[in-house]
Amino acid sequence: MFLHIGSERMVSIRKIILILDGKALTSEITRSFAGNWNTEAGEAEQTRSLVVADGRIYASPISALTLKKRLQRINAVFGGHDGWKKDKGSRDKE
């Protein structure tokens, strides 16, 4: 399964490590963290969240909350995948 993160980008939900709210970009620590990774930034759109997956950081114009809701919907419809809890959408093992 894939998650559409905006800017014509799709990311495998199995590869997602972290979805970070764009407000965190004001933090020096977050900017330093993002600077140490390969970043795939959207050119024209405002960054509202960061998605860490596949050894990259993807800048997304879609809010972290919306991405979370999309993941929960995918999980509810398709029953999730290995490691995802149905009720919380977290990657913790049951």
The alpha carbon of 59 is separated from its chain's Cα centroid by a whole number of angstroms, namely 9
Q: What is the pTM of this model?
A: 0.69
Distance CA 28, CA 33 (A): 9
What residue segments make up the domains of the chain, in order of their start?
Answer: 2-78
Distance CA 15, CA 21 (A): 18
Full pLDDT tens readout for the chain, 94 residues: 899 998 888 999 999 999 988 787 777 877 777 666 555 655 435 888 889 898 888 888 999 999 999 998 888 888 765 554 544 444 544 4
